[in-house]
Amino acid sequence: MKKLKMVCLLTLTTVALSACTIKKPPQNLAIKGQGTFDLKTIGIKIESSLPKNAKFNILFKDDDTKKVIYETTIKTDENGTANKKILLDSKNKNLTGFLLFKPEEQPKKIQEKFGKYGENIRPTTEGYRVGKKNNKKYMYIKQYGTFWKFGKLSDGGFLVFSKDKIKQEKEGK
């Protein structure tokens, strides 16, 4: 009878331990950023498949000086949408925007779905990147924002976020 109890106990322990190591399948994640700008302001709208309170880091970098000139964090509402109007002088500046989704900065509910190190983010997500953090493989989302003017004489335009920075052709070259 003792052997039967021991076999049952070992079997139960094995099943419990194997259940802990079952890996979640990759999860779909949709993030679409866009915006508009004029000489003094930038308006950003992010639509995502994330729940309320997901965090996005927004950065703007001056391409000429390579310095970050603005940085903020915004959170999604109950529809997975985030909006932000930023006062920023963009006149005569070559700017690049960055939209970042960092799994380690998310609320526990979101980390449970996508993993603390992004290990459950599907690689087909727009802007998917792989790096190292604390000697572990780390997955995150990084999208580049390219500023497009409405016209040659215009002081405004729109901002498009995508996986890579879009190269703009110079007129007359």
Domain boundaries, the chain: 31-162
Q: How many Cβ atoms from other residues are within 10 Å of residue 39's Cβ?
A: 11
Q: Which two tokens stand for residue 134?
A: 């604390």
Q: Which of 17-31, 86-100, 148-162 has the lowest mean pLDDT?
A: 17-31
Q: How confident is the model at residue 172 (pLDDT cuts 50, 70, 90)?
A: very low
56-71 residue pLDDT tens: 999 999 999 999 999 9
For domain 31-162, give the fold: Immunoglobulin-like (2.60.40)
Q: How many Cβ atoms from other residues are within 10 Å of residue 100's Cβ?
A: 17
Contact 10, 17 (CB under 8 A): no
The kind and range of the H/E element at 117 are none
Contact 106, 141 (CB under 8 A): no
Enter the DSSP assignment of 165.
P
What's the pTM value of the predicted model, to 2 decimals?
0.80
Q: Which of 6-15, 100-109, 134-143, 154-163 has the highest mean pLDDT?
A: 100-109
Amino acid at 119: E
